Structure formats: C-alpha cells, structure tokens
Amino acid sequence: MTTMWRPARIFAFAACFGALASCATAPTPPPAIHAQALPLIPEPALVEPKPGIFRLRDGAALIVDSQNAEAAGIAHRFADLIAETRGIHLDVHPLGSHAERDAIIFSLDARAANVPSGEGYDLAVDPQRILLFAREPRGLFYGSVTLWQLLTADTTKVSRLDVPQVHIADQPRFAWRGAMLDSARHFQSPAFVKRFIDQLALLKLNTLHWHLTDDQGWRIEIKRYPKLTEIGAWRRPAGAAGTDANGQPVRYGGFYTQDDIRDIVRYAAARYVTIVPEIDMPGHMQAAIAAYPELGSIGDAPVVSPDWGVHAYLVNTDDETIAFLENVLDEVTDLFPGPYVHVGGDEALKDQWKASPRVQARMRALGIENENAMQGWFLAAIEKHLAARGKRVVGWDEILESGVPPNAIVMSWRGAKGGIDAAHAGHDVVMAPDPDLYLDHLQSDAPDEPPGRPTLRTLADIYAFEPVPPGMPADVAAHMLGAQAELWTEHMRTEERVEHAAFPRLDALAEALWSPKAARDWTGFTQRLAPEIERQRAMGVHVADGGMSRAHAPQDPLTRTSSALKPCSGKLRLRLEDDAPAEGPRAVFDTDLFDPCWIFEQAPLDGIAGVAVDVGQIPYNFQLAHDVTGIVPRPAPTSADGDLLVRLDGCSGTPLATIPLDKAVTNPAVTTLTASWPPVAGAHDLCFVFAYRGHDPLWSIDKVRLLRAH
Ligand code: ACM
C-alpha cells in the first residue's frame, strides 16, 4: 500500500555511495549532542546530523501498517527490544489510527521514492517524529536495528529519552555478510544458537553458515537414518576428560532435532538471517561412518572421533552411498528453506580412496583417472541432486581442484587466492580466509585469553579486512558476494568461549562488509564500540574487551607462564586447555604440537638455586595426516616415566637439571616439579624440553618459577 509519509527530503542517494566523506561532511557542524559519534555499528552509508532532538517518552506510539504481518512483526520485536534494553514501552498502533506527532512510524512501501531498495532503508529522526521507510521488510528490519542502536547509547532504564535529530540513508556494500558456527566439534544448545542469531542480526549480518557435521559429531536429526544421531552425535573425549568421577566413560555430544531446527530457522528468518547448512563430504565424515560403517571406504568401523585435525576417513563412492547422502540432503533441504546448501569438500585426504578396492573399481568403471577427479565426479552428482531441488551448492575452495559445478559458490578459506582465482573464472565467491577471518585465532596477547591458535587476529585486523583485492576489475569483483568469519570450536568448549571469540570481532567484520569502503574509520569504530559492548553485555553476551582495556600485569622477573616463554621452534603453536580436572578451572598451556619445547629467555640466574615447574599432560588427540613426519623427536629419557630436561644457553647447552616425571604421571591435572642446581652467574637462556618415548601424551609446561637460594 502507499504510505501517507515521504522521506524527510529528496536527496541524490546514489551519488553519495563511494563518496561518503563528501556527502557526510556537507552539513553544518553538529551541535553538542552530536559531539560524540552516533552509537552505530556498522556505520551507515550516509549520516546527516541535524541540530534538534526528538524526545521519546514511555508509552509513545509506534505506528505500523498492521495489515502487513512482516512489518507488524518487526515493529513488535523492536518494541520488545526497546522495553528490554531501555525500559521504554511503546504502544504499537495500526497505520492511520493514531496521531503521528511524537510517534515512531515504520513505513513499508515497495514503491517509495528516494528510499534504498533491498536491505536499505531511510531513517529520519525529526523533533516531531521518527520516520523509518523501507521498500522491503528486510530494509525495515535493518532500519529498526539502526534506530534501536540510536536509542541505546547507554542501557540505563529511563522513562524518556532524547534522540539526536539525524537523517540516515543506508544500504549494505556486500550481500553475503556472515559467520560460520561449528556445532560439531563442540555442541551449542538451541537457545544459544538463537541468542547468537540475535547478535548477528543486530550487527546486520545476514548469513549463518552452520557447520553441522564433522568427524567429531553429527548434529542434525535425519529421520531416515536415526543412527546418525543415536551413534554419530556422541563421542568419548580423549584423555582424562573421557572418564567421570565414578570411573565411567563420559559421553559428550548432542544434536538438534528436526523440531529444534525448524524453530531456529523460523527464528532466524524473522531476523533476516539465512541459515546455510553444511553437510561436509566426502571427508570430515568419520561420525557418519561410525554410525553406518557401510558408508566408509576401507571396510572398518571407526568410533566418533575424539581428535582434532585432518582425519583419513572418506565416504565411498558407490551408488548406495550417494543415494544415502541424497536422502540426507532431501531432509536437510526440507528443513532449511534458504537458497544454499554447503557440501564441504575440504581436507579430503585421498589415502583411503587410493587404498579402497571398491573406489578404485568405481574409478576404472567411470574412466576417472585420479582421486581428485573422483571427488569432482562425486560432488557433481550431489550438486545435480541439489540443483534439481532448487538449491545452489557452496563448497570450500578445494572444489576448485576437481572441477567446480558452474553455479557453485566457492568459499575461499586457504587464504584469498582460491577466491580470487574462482572469481576470475566466473564463479561467485565468499571470502572466508584463514587466518584473516578464522576466529579460533586468539584476539589479544593477554595471558588469560582462552584457548585457541596463538597467531593473533586482533579486532583491528578484522576491521581492516577487505574482501575485494586492489585492482580487481569491476566485472570480476561483481562475483565477490561478501565474506564471513569462522568460529571453529575445537578450542571453544563452552558457549561463553564462542561468544568471547565472536564479539566484538564480528562487529568489526559487520562494518567491513556493510559500510562503504570510504567510511572505514578505526578510531571512529573504537568510539562507537564502547556503547556497543555495553549493549551486548546488557543482553548477557560474553563479549571480549577487544583487547583495548586490558592492562597486562607487571611480569615477575623470576616467573614465566607458558605464554611468556618462547617456543623453541614454533612449528605449530596452540593454546590448549588441560583435560582435567573434570569440574572447575583448568590450566591452559601454550605449546607446540610438533616440538613441545620452551625457552626462558635471559633468565636472571644470580642467586637462583633451582626451579619449580608446573607441568601437565594432555592427550595427543591431533590427527596430523602426512604432516606427522614433522614431529620433532623427543630426547631419550633416563627415567621410566620420562623427564623434564633443563639446559643452559639453549637446547643443545649444558644440562642443568633432569627432573623425573614420575610424580606427575599419575596426576591428570597440573603437578609442580622442582629441581635444584649449583650457582650460575648472570642471565642465560634456559631450555625446557620433555624427554619421553613417543609423543602421547603431550607433556606441557604451565609455569616456570626460578627459586632463590636461601
Ligand atoms: C577448513 O578450515 N577446513 C575449511
């Protein structure tokens, strides 16, 4: 229907895009109320501050076309959010039934002039009223999010609120603005997934890529194949965490019932978040093969994996297996109404296919020369099935190596190159590169950052992410749909940790993907982030501080935690959590999977008589595939249970102490080991390295303390 309102003034919207600075600097200098940046993330495309204010009072009217159920839904959710965050109650009234003075008006009109289309909107806060226009419901929703942010510069509960007068015209730079959530490595509750979707939507992120299956767990109920969740959704954790206080095996896992999924999909749709389900194949399938061993390639029956890393298990390529997967995907497509299904395709080591007589026979029958081409044939069959059901396939960039179905979307994770090549070859691309957008990398060097990969991806790094490489021709750049950040959860055992990794780095990504490139302004972002973090905290989100307010405690010169020790070779560093105790806090070790060896640089040894070292052991539950040859051999032990060696002036220097591990070997948590040594003058590099047979468990240092002579 035609609305009774028009945007506050006509302006040349399109001309402002890409030239935000000139558009935004045209108005006269803002009055005091605008002295601070408006509390908006992502920064809108065009913001025109004005001198007045609108006074919003408790009980004010929110007028909306109630004939339009979507618009009415958006208005009601907005009213709920304002009541929850500011304590101001709005009365939702149907269009035409209430005076517009002092009211908020949500107007949805497909033909509205001078209003951006699609996800765009036009918002005018004037002294008499607030007018939000959009042509489509999703635009109305994003306008309501902007208005909510304007009203939540802080989150104290009030009965009236002064809103700065402003005109905002906005639309996104990229269509695909997303995050990937790995619910396979660790399971998150349906309630958490909904909370996460809330936060995505409030950042105008519109895509949740949901990684639902992997070697460590199958998380989606498939009615036709119940064992996928009866067996595949559960694993016994590695190491001490695999046994409970009564000595019984622990069963870790969970899955989403089809009712859970329908509920989550509905919830997401109401917030304009499209869920892209991922069923990863032909690798990352160990949990499915554990449930239905006939899917496997080498005829054995694995367990659901308690390990991390690249696993060997691949499904076979028989017609029955492809039919099984098609039946699974039929249930998946019935549950997820969005246009895309992600079929993985990543990290499918071909060893099992090479060793599998049935796969080799199939390849010969099909005249397929090598296993990579076989993966191409396999995924093409799956793609054809999905296309017949109206779905577009998404795959990790390995699909480029085996012939990409022309309509498939390539998700570039091994850096940007795959995405750039794919775009030049005419494929649509989503950038999701590691390490750039992999949020399992730690966000600050604070010693209390939770486990993850220690190569930092700071908030500023994410903010600086640019999906389109410089110089890419416009017709190629048109294939860059957008980008997403990945929340792989091997190291995120709790939902709190997922949120800590996600926020505020997803705020930074949201701005990089929504706002015009010319509007990118790190200083402005950090100012706008303060009220944003307050909002997120008020909603119970375990948001990190973005590494901005953390003052590092002064370092005791005689003590080093593992994060403050230098790795000896730094081949593959991880910050790993101990697997014990079962309850309560666990130690966190900065260690190296290939070479667990640490240097205390320039240790001040004058007056030092020895050392106390807190050590722990974690299961070596990492599948390194062919990289296993890179493991640095441990020195030979002299004690039955192994030793911790301390050497002077580096790892080939004089032995200072050989500390047997017998006291620590029976303690699954942290044990303090001590040793003394004769006086040494001056400052020296001390090397700490474990000597034991094999490489499991992974012995690790928690903390080193030099002990003074008495
Ligand atoms: C991936 O990180 N294996 C996509």
In a domain? residue 88: yes
pLDDT of residue 549: 53
Same domain, 293 and 438: yes
Same domain, 105 and 214: no
Same domain, 25 and 115: yes
Overall domain count for the chain:
3
What whole-number percentage of the chain has pLDDT above 70?
A: 94
The finding on whether 641 has its CB within 6 A of some atom of ligand 1 is no
Mutate to test the pocket of ligand 1, among 285, 308, 396 (most ligand atoms within 8 A of CB): 396
What is the span of the domain harbouring residue 71? 8-170
Same domain, 78 and 210: no
Over residues 44-62, the pLDDT tens digits come to 999 999 999 999 999 999 9
Closest CA to 315 of 225, 216, 182, 215: 215
Instruction: Name the token pair of 372.
Output: 């990579």
Residue after which a domain boundary falls, among 121, 147, 170? 170
- Ligand 1 centroid vs 99 CA: distance in angstroms? 55
The finding on whether 438 has its CB within 6 A of some atom of ligand 1 is no
The finding on whether 347 has its CB within 6 A of some atom of ligand 1 is yes
In a domain? residue 2: no
- Ligand 1 centroid vs 392 CA: distance in angstroms? 20
The finding on whether 396 has its CB within 6 A of some atom of ligand 1 is yes
In a domain? residue 602: yes
Closest CA to 255 of 218, 225, 284, 285: 218
**Neighbour-count burial of 322, counting CB atoms closer than 10 A to its CB (0-12 exposed, 13-18 middle, 19+ buried):** middle
**Neighbour-count burial of 381, counting CB atoms closer than 10 A to its CB (0-12 exposed, 13-18 middle, 19+ buried):** middle
CATH number at residue 30: 3.30.379.10
- Ligand 1 centroid vs 243 CA: distance in angstroms? 30
Over residues 414-427, the pLDDT tens digits come to 999 999 999 999 99
Same domain, 93 and 219: no
pLDDT greater than 60 at residue 151: yes
Same domain, 159 and 255: no
In a domain? residue 620: yes
Q: Strands across the sheet with 61-64, in order?
A: 46-57, 160-170, 121-125, 130-134, 104-108, 61-64, 91-94
* Mean pLDDT, the chain, integer: 93
Please state, in angstroms and rounded to a whole number, the distance separating the CA atoms of residues 200 and 41.
12
Closest CA to 91 of 101, 81, 103: 103
pLDDT greater than 60 at residue 17: no
- Residue pair 282/217 in contact (Cβ under 8 Å)? The answer is no
pLDDT of residue 24: 31
In a domain? residue 305: yes
Over residues 495-554, the pLDDT tens digits come to 999 999 999 999 999 999 999 999 999 999 999 999 999 999 999 999 998 665 555 667
- Ligand 1 centroid vs 285 CA: distance in angstroms? 14
pLDDT of residue 551: 56
pLDDT of residue 37: 85
Same domain, 63 and 204: no
Over residues 293-314, the pLDDT tens digits come to 999 999 999 999 999 999 999 9
Same domain, 166 and 180: no
Mutate to test the pocket of ligand 1, among 394, 398, 413 (most ligand atoms within 8 A of CB): 413
The finding on whether 414 has its CB within 6 A of some atom of ligand 1 is no
Same domain, 160 and 201: no
CATH number at residue 460: 3.20.20.80
pLDDT of residue 405: 86
pLDDT of residue 67: 85
In a domain? residue 1: no
Mutate to test the pocket of ligand 1, among 284, 434, 491 (most ligand atoms within 8 A of CB): 434
What whole-number percentage of the chain has pLDDT above 90?
A: 89
pLDDT greater than 60 at residue 5: no
The amino acid at residue 284 is H
pLDDT greater than 80 at residue 32: no
- The residues annotated as belonging to the active site are 214, 284, 347
- Ligand 1 centroid vs 277 CA: distance in angstroms? 15
pLDDT greater than 80 at residue 440: yes
Residue after which a domain boundary falls, among 170, 195, 229? 170
Task: Supply the residue whose CA is at minimum distance from atom 3 of ligand 1.
Answer: 346
Any bridge partners for residue 280, and if so which?
A: none
Cis peptide leading into 454, omega within 30 of 0?
Answer: no
The finding on whether 413 has its CB within 6 A of some atom of ligand 1 is yes
CATH number at residue 671: 2.60.120.260
- Ligand 1 centroid vs 432 CA: distance in angstroms? 9
The finding on whether 346 has its CB within 6 A of some atom of ligand 1 is yes
pLDDT of residue 555: 81
Same domain, 238 and 385: yes
Any bridge partners for residue 277, and if so which?
A: 210
Higher pLDDT, 427 or 245: 427
pLDDT band at 214 (very low <50, low <70, confident <90, very high): very high
In a domain? residue 523: no
Q: Is 344 left (phi over 0), alpha (psi -120 to 50) or beta?
A: left
**Neighbour-count burial of 302, counting CB atoms closer than 10 A to its CB (0-12 exposed, 13-18 middle, 19+ buried):** middle
Same domain, 87 and 122: yes
Determine the average pLDDT of the residues in 96-112: 93
Count Cβ neighbours within 10 Å for each residue of 532-546 and write b for 16 or more, e otherwise: bbbbbeebebbbbeb
Please state, in angstroms and rounded to a whole number, the distance separating the CA atoms of residues 427 and 567.
41
Over residues 157-189, the pLDDT tens digits come to 999 999 999 999 999 999 999 999 999 999 999
Beta strands in 192-339 (DSSP E): 207-211, 213-214, 217-218, 234-235, 252-253, 274-281, 308-309
In a domain? residue 704: yes
Over residues 119-136, the pLDDT tens digits come to 999 999 999 999 999 999
Same domain, 74 and 222: no
| Ligand 1 atom at shortest distance from the alpha carbon of 411 | 4
Q: What is the pTM of this model?
A: 0.94
